Amino acid sequence: MTPTLKDIVTSISSFNDEDPVFAKKIDGKFLSNSEAIVLQLTEEESKLRTNEIAELKCPGFEYFLDAFIIKDMINDFDNSNNGVDLDERIAIIIHYADYDA
Residue range 3-34, pLDDT digits in tens:
999 999 999 999 999 999 999 999 999 999 99
Q: Where are the domains of the chain?
A: 5-99
Q: Supply the DSSP symbol for 96.
A: H
Average pLDDT on 82-93 reads 89
Query: Do residues 17 and 68 make contact, with C-beta atoms less than 8 angstroms apart?
Result: yes
Average pLDDT on 36-50 reads 95
Q: Please tell me the pTM assigned to this model.
A: 0.92
